[in-house]
Chain A
Amino acid sequence: MKTRTAKVIHFFASLKVAIILLLLIAAYIVIGTVLPQHGTEALYLERYPATAKLILGLSLDSAYSSPIFIILLILFSINLALCTITSLNGQLRKMKSNYYPYFREEEYAIDGVEESQVQTLLAKQRFSVVEEDGVLRGAKYRWGVLGAAITHLGLIILFLGGAIGTMSSSEEMITLLPGNQHRFEKQGFTVELDDFYMTFEPSGAVKQYYSDVTVIDDNGNRSSETLWVNKPFHHNGLGFYQANFGWTSNLQIFDEQSGEVVVDGLLRNGGSYFYQPKHLTVFLYSYYPEMGIGHDQTPVKMSDREVNPHYLVILYEFGEPIDYYVLGPGEHIHYDGLQISFTHSIAFTGLLVRKDLSYPIVLASFITIILGLIVSFYLYPRFITYKDGKLITSSRRNEWVFYQSIKSTLTKKD
Chain B
Amino acid sequence: MYQTIENTTFMIAFILYVASALLFFVQISKLAKKVDKAAIIATLSGLVFHTIAMGARTIGAGRLPFSNQYEFALSFAWGIVLSFLILYALYRFGAIGAFVMPLAILVMGYASMQSKTVRPLMPALQSMWLTFHVGTAILSYGSFALACAISVIYLIDSKRSEDHKILADPEVSDILGYRVVVFGFLMLSIVIISGAIWAQKAWSRYWAWDPKETWSLITWIIYAIYLHLRLRRNWKGAPAAWFSIIGFASVIFTFVGVNILLPSIHSYAT
Which residues of B are found within 8 Å of A207, using beta-carbon distances? 120, 123
B252 contacts A by Cβ under 8 Å: no
Are B190 and A370 in contact (CB-based, < 8 A)? yes
What are 28 residue pairs bridging A and B, where the CB atoms are less than 8 Å apart in the complex? A22-B221, A25-B221, A26-B218, A26-B222, A30-B218, A33-B258, A33-B262, A34-B262, A64-B209, A162-B207, A205-B120, A207-B120, A229-B126, A230-B127, A230-B201, A230-B202, A231-B201, A243-B204, A352-B204, A354-B204, A356-B204, A359-B200, A359-B206, A366-B193, A369-B189, A373-B185, A400-B172, A401-B179
Interface hits, B106-126 → A, CB 8 Å: 119-120, 122-124, 126
A103 contacts B by Cβ under 8 Å: no
Which residues of B are found within 8 Å of A206, using beta-carbon distances? 122-123
Given A22-B224, A26-B222, A33-B215, CB of A400 within 8 Å of CB of B175: yes
Which residues of A are found within 8 Å of B167, using beta-carbon distances? none
A318 contacts B by Cβ under 8 Å: no
Q: Mark A60-83, 1 if CB is under 8 A from B, else 0.
A: 000010000000000000000000
Interface residues of A, Cβ cutoff 8 Å to B: 15, 18-19, 22-23, 25-26, 29-30, 32-34, 64, 162, 171, 201, 203, 205-209, 228-232, 239, 241-243, 352, 354, 356, 359, 362-363, 366, 369-370, 373-374, 377, 397-401, 404
Are B218 and A239 in contact (CB-based, < 8 A)? no
Which residues of A are found within 8 Å of B233, using beta-carbon distances? 15
A397 to B126 alpha-carbon distance, docked (Å):
40
Given A29-B214, A374-B186, CB of A362 within 8 Å of CB of B204: no
A72 to B197 alpha-carbon distance, docked (Å):
25
For B181, give the chain A residue with the smallest CB separation: A377
Closest 7 CB pairs of A and B: A229-B123, A354-B204, A400-B175, A241-B204, A201-B120, A230-B127, A366-B193
Are B123 and A366 in contact (CB-based, < 8 A)? no
B155 contacts A by Cβ under 8 Å: no
Are B123 and A15 in contact (CB-based, < 8 A)? no
Are B189 and A230 in contact (CB-based, < 8 A)? no
Are B204 and A203 in contact (CB-based, < 8 A)? no
Which residues of B are found within 8 Å of A19, using beta-carbon distances? 225, 228-229
User: Could you say which of A33, A239, A373 contacts B214, with CB atoms under 8 Å apart?
Assistant: A33
Are A15 and B228 in contact (CB-based, < 8 A)? yes
Which residues of A are found within 8 Å of B91, using beta-carbon distances? 404
Given A33-B262, A369-B193, CB of A229 within 8 Å of CB of B124: yes
Which residues of A are found within 8 Å of B104, using beta-carbon distances? none
Main secondary structure on chain B at its contact with chain A?
Answer: helix
A208 to B125 alpha-carbon distance, docked (Å):
10
Which residues of B are found within 8 Å of A34, using beta-carbon distances? 262
User: Could you say which of B123, B124, B193 contacts A370, with CB atoms under 8 Å apart?
Assistant: B193
B211 contacts A by Cβ under 8 Å: yes
Are A373 and B120 in contact (CB-based, < 8 A)? no
Distance from A117 Cβ to chain B, minimum over Cβ atoms (Å): 23
Distance from B51 Cβ to chain A, minimum over Cβ atoms (Å): 27
Interface hits, B201-243 → A, CB 8 Å: 201-207, 209, 211, 214-215, 217-218, 221-222, 224-225, 228-229, 231-233
Distance from B132 Cβ to chain A, minimum over Cβ atoms (Å): 13
For A202, give the chain B residue with the smallest CB separation: B120
Are A15 and B232 in contact (CB-based, < 8 A)? yes
Which residues of B are found within 8 Å of A397, using beta-carbon distances? 231
Which residues of B are found within 8 Å of A354, using beta-carbon distances? 204-205
Which residues of B are found within 8 Å of A241, using beta-carbon distances? 202-204
Are B222 and A370 in contact (CB-based, < 8 A)? no
Which residues of B are found within 8 Å of A242, using beta-carbon distances? 123
A33 to B231 alpha-carbon distance, docked (Å):
30
A399 to B234 alpha-carbon distance, docked (Å):
13
Are A29 and B217 in contact (CB-based, < 8 A)? yes
A38 to B179 alpha-carbon distance, docked (Å):
41
Are A401 and B175 in contact (CB-based, < 8 A)? yes
A162 to B215 alpha-carbon distance, docked (Å):
19
Which residues of B are found within 8 Å of A205, using beta-carbon distances? 119-120, 122
Are B209 and A32 in contact (CB-based, < 8 A)? yes
A32 to B213 alpha-carbon distance, docked (Å):
12
Distance from A370 Cβ to chain B, minimum over Cβ atoms (Å): 6
A2 to B201 alpha-carbon distance, docked (Å):
50
B182 contacts A by Cβ under 8 Å: yes
Are B124 and A203 in contact (CB-based, < 8 A)? no
Are A373 and B221 in contact (CB-based, < 8 A)? no
B196 contacts A by Cβ under 8 Å: yes
For A400, give the chain B residue with the smallest CB separation: B175
Distance from A17 Cβ to chain B, minimum over Cβ atoms (Å): 12
A154 to B162 alpha-carbon distance, docked (Å):
45
Are B214 and A32 in contact (CB-based, < 8 A)? yes
A208 to B213 alpha-carbon distance, docked (Å):
24
Distance from B127 Cβ to chain A, minimum over Cβ atoms (Å): 5
A15-B228, A370-B186 are known contacts; what are 20 more A-B pairs with Cβ within 8 Å? A26-B221, A29-B214, A33-B214, A34-B262, A64-B209, A205-B122, A207-B123, A208-B123, A229-B124, A229-B126, A230-B126, A230-B198, A230-B202, A243-B203, A369-B193, A373-B189, A377-B186, A400-B171, A400-B172, A401-B175
User: Could you say which of B172, B179, B206, B209 contacts A398, with CB atoms under 8 Å apart?
Assistant: B179
Which residues of B are found within 8 Å of A209, using beta-carbon distances? 123
Which residues of B are found within 8 Å of A239, using beta-carbon distances? 204
Are B204 and A370 in contact (CB-based, < 8 A)? no
Interface hits, B143-189 → A, CB 8 Å: 171-172, 175, 179, 182, 185-186, 189
A34 to B253 alpha-carbon distance, docked (Å):
13
Given A33-B211, A366-B193, CB of A230 within 8 Å of CB of B204: no
A356 to B196 alpha-carbon distance, docked (Å):
14
Which residues of B are found within 8 Å of A362, using beta-carbon distances? 196, 206
Q: Mark B85-121, 1 if CB is under 8 A from A, else 0.
A: 0000001000000000000000000000000000110
For A34, give the chain B residue with the smallest CB separation: B262
Which residues of B are found within 8 Å of A230, using beta-carbon distances? 123-124, 126-127, 198, 201-202
For A19, give the chain B residue with the smallest CB separation: B225
Which residues of B are found within 8 Å of A64, using beta-carbon distances? 209
